[in-house]
Amino acid sequence: MVGERLDYPAARTVDAQDTVMDISFPDPYRWLEDDSGETEAWQRAQNSLTDAFVGGWPHMAALRASVDRCVTDGTGSPNWMVDPAPRFAGGRWFRLDRTPAPDYPERAVLVVSDAPDGPGRALYDPNDDGTRQISWLAPSPDGRIAAFGVCEDGSELGEIWLLDAETGDRLPDRIPQRTMGPLVTPHWLPDSSGFFYTAGDLSSESFAFRVYFHAVGGAPATEPEPVDVAHGATVQVSVDGKRAVVSGVWPLPQYVCDLPERAWRPFVQGLGSSVAGVIDGDRYIAVTDHGAPRGRVIAIPFDEPAPSDPATWRELVPESGRVLSHVRLVGERLVVTGSVDTEARAWVFDRDGRELEEVPLPGRGALPLDVLPNAALTPTGHPEEFVFLFSTPTSSPGLYRYRPGSGRVDTLRAPRVHLPGATSSLRWARSADGTRVPYHLVLPDGADGTRALPTLITAYGGGRVAWPAQYPGPVAAFVAAGGALVISHQRGGGDLGSGWADAGRVRNKQNSFDDLYAIAGHLVDSGVTTAERLAVTGWSNGGIMAGVAFAQRPDLWTAVVSQCPVLDIIGCHRHPYGRFAITAEYGDLGDPDDIARLSGMSPYQLIEGDTVYPALYVHAGGADVACPPGPVRKFIARAQATAGPAPVLLRVWDGVGHGTATSRSEAVTHATHWLAFLMQRLNMAPREEGGVR
């Protein structure tokens, strides 16, 4: 089927317009947004076409085996949302692990053990329930109760369960509000009597989240806490149980609460800056980008009359050439994590900000759990030790421990997968405006970058979220098969600080795409690959990026894979979550000037009939509440109507959401599917020896 136009399922057109701020755009496939019988039949036909195209490749079984070896954990999270670190509580370790059965591993099992790895006792095995998946874990501080999120049918909307950690019995507590993990998890009171949690209000026009409190053994909460924090509020509780602080998903400690009375009062409000930190007695210590795009460490007293005024803050660690992102209180020390030229670093300071030492991290790579702005707001359960996950582009996450002052990092769980012979190096391209843009190039065993290889760029490039030099999960199978992998650090992400992120967001969003195109050009000019052997992929915001790259610069690629994307940016004005996400990252859907600008990067509006486009595969989840499949279907219909010989394929997976509540076996299937499409286009095949150990 390669080389001739496929027989795509027919899609009728309608005379419809999408009008935003008095600007109208043709919307001939609007009907495909609706979940009608006609739409479902069209989608089934698309899935059948894609399955036949991919399934005819003779190397599917070998590729699946390789992907299976590369997916190291028990969850199905996308490759930048790696397996959550084991949690220490009450002298024991709680973790989500692969099914300890001889059959094919399915869903993550909740295990309690005396060690972070090795034998343990299964507390809950969702494989017995068919469609359930554990998305996050939060044991009580005394280790008696395991709270965790249970999702069904692939949706990220989950129910909170409580289990007795001794018997494995489910407690009678029932919590009616749905959480949206794993980005928000409960925070326990130190005495394990209850916890704060965040639940989504999907009926809200702003896609809001509310904070609730649950007392173990008590009645379900019917009213949220009296705090107004939008978009993924996270509650922190001090180790002495005297205070709680609530921050938004872009961290700002907006309210402080005096416990146990639960008397909330405003704290730091009204700033467009990140202030992410920890409660340290009578003050809040945080990394902030206010007046410091690369980050500085400050302290804010809780009794400060004007805590929202940065002039009242005490600076502990000034801004420097390194990027500071998170701070943790470890015993009497502060451990500050960040990066230098996108590669992870960690430093130890005393509580007055005097630098004491650098943590000897086990290589050049990433602290994968630190990619999100609010990552360090969740306690680890190790008050005297810095316990962390670390990975490199050629080795999967290991679990490590550092005791301040020891000068030695201990391995608690070694990396489970290595790409033998593969190498990783930091390189720089120059974007259209002259900005130098970093990227990591991962070469397979035996390659030195002087011979053109099939090459895949992976990127995210948005939301102030870093896309660090970390293990690529299932995409490691591409390297194991002899391909070169690129990890892009383009603007829009937080890889070089908040200034780097803001230079590729909203009115500067085109810079992010231009950075990607510059990396593609640099790879070709330096002989790593050719346009005929170059592909690009991304997930979520990266999926949008891949769609934009397909439509704006079709000449750069031989294949594009867009995962869980929004491909009609203009049409997001009709959807609560899409309106929130696009306004935050791309532009104001209520501003006519922004609408005109966004139309130049919205893939659905950019498709033209006289343009030769590369091969395309779009992955979508039928239960995705963030990026639903309807707008994706419209884009595919329009792209197929103008397609040449290069295939344009869609796969919508039933019972699958945005990917963070997907079972392990489903994640392996999905990755195998799109990698098979890609490797078929690039004339690749899995190596017999596997390339993984």
- Report the relative pairing of strands 243-247 and 234-237 from DSSP bridges: antiparallel
**Predicted local distance difference test score (pLDDT) of residue 471:** 95
Long-range contacts at 189-193 (CB < 8 A, ≥ 24 apart): 189/237, 189/241, 189/259, 189/260, 190/141, 190/237, 190/238, 190/239, 190/240, 190/241, 191/141, 191/142, 191/241, 192/140, 192/141, 192/142, 192/144, 192/145, 192/216
Residue 81 has pLDDT above 60, yes or no: no
Residues 250-273 have pLDDT tens digits of: 899 999 999 988 899 999 999 999
**Predicted local distance difference test score (pLDDT) of residue 126:** 83
Alpha helices in 240-301 (DSSP H): none
Residue 105 has pLDDT above 50, yes or no: no
Of the chain, the percentage scoring pLDDT greater than 90 comes to 75
Residue 658 near residue 627, CB atoms below 8 Å: yes
**Predicted local distance difference test score (pLDDT) of residue 690:** 64
What residues pair up with 164 in beta bridges, in sequence order? 145
Residue 8 C-alpha from the chain's centroid: 32
Residue 56 or 104, more confident: 56
**Predicted local distance difference test score (pLDDT) of residue 268:** 96
The label of the residue with tokens 């999967």 reads: 396
**Predicted local distance difference test score (pLDDT) of residue 77:** 54
With residue 258 as reference, give the H or E element that holds it. strand 253-258
- pTM of the predicted model as reported, rounded to 2 decimal places: 0.94
- 468, 471, 515: which is closest to 492 by C-alpha? 515
Query: CA 405 to CA 403: how far, in whole Å?
Result: 6
Give the SS3 label for residue 499: helix
Q: Please report which confidence band the pLDDT of residue 99 belongs to, taking 50, 70 and 90 as the band edges.
A: low
Residue 649 C-alpha from the chain's centroid: 24
Sheet of strand 314-317, all strands in order from the earlier edge strand to the far edge: 275-280, 283-288, 296-301, 314-317
Residue 386 near residue 404, CB atoms below 8 Å: yes
Angle (CA) 516 520 523, round 5° = 135
Range 665-681 average pLDDT: 94
User: How many helices, marked H, and strands, marked E, lie in the chain?
Assistant: 11, 36
Residue 152 or 621, more confident: 621
Q: What is the DSSP letter of 172?
A: S
The label of the residue with tokens 């915001």 reads: 541
Residue 65 has pLDDT above 90, yes or no: yes
What mean pLDDT, rounded, does the chain reach? Answer: 91
Residues 349-362 have pLDDT tens digits of: 999 999 999 999 99
Of 145-149, 199-203, 446-450, which gets the smallest average pLDDT?
Answer: 199-203
Residues 393-450 have pLDDT tens digits of: 999 999 999 999 999 999 999 999 999 999 999 999 999 999 999 999 999 999 999 9
**Predicted local distance difference test score (pLDDT) of residue 656:** 84
What residues pair up with 651 in beta bridges, in sequence order? 619
Residues 498-519 have pLDDT tens digits of: 999 999 999 999 999 999 999 9
The segment with the largest mean pLDDT, out of 237-241, 320-324, 465-469, 618-622, is 320-324
List Cβ neighbours of 286 (8 Å cut-off, separation of 6 or more).
Answer: 251, 253, 275, 276, 277, 278, 297, 298, 299, 300, 327
Range 157-174 average pLDDT: 93
Range 269-296 average pLDDT: 95
- 392, 386, 387: which is closest to 368 by C-alpha? 392
Range 464-488 average pLDDT: 95
Q: Which two tokens stand for residue 20?
A: 């935003």
Residues 329-355 have pLDDT tens digits of: 999 999 999 999 999 999 999 999 999
Residue 374 near residue 358, CB atoms below 8 Å: no
Of 345-349, 538-542, 575-579, which gets the smallest average pLDDT?
Answer: 575-579
Q: Please report which confidence band the pLDDT of residue 165 belongs to, taking 50, 70 and 90 as the band edges.
A: very high
Give the type of residue at 625: V
**Predicted local distance difference test score (pLDDT) of residue 202:** 60
Q: What is the DSSP letter of 371?
A: S
Residue 573 C-alpha from the chain's centroid: 24
Angle (CA) 255 257 258, round 5° = 150
The DSSP string of 75-136 is S---TTSPPPPPEEETTEEEEEE---SSS---S-EEEEESSSSS--EEEE-GGGTSSEEEEE
Q: What is the DSSP letter of 375?
A: G
List Cβ neighbours of 549 (8 Å cut-off, separation of 6 or more).
Answer: 513, 516, 517, 536, 556, 557, 560
Residue 104 has pLDDT above 70, yes or no: no
Residue 4 or 412, more confident: 412
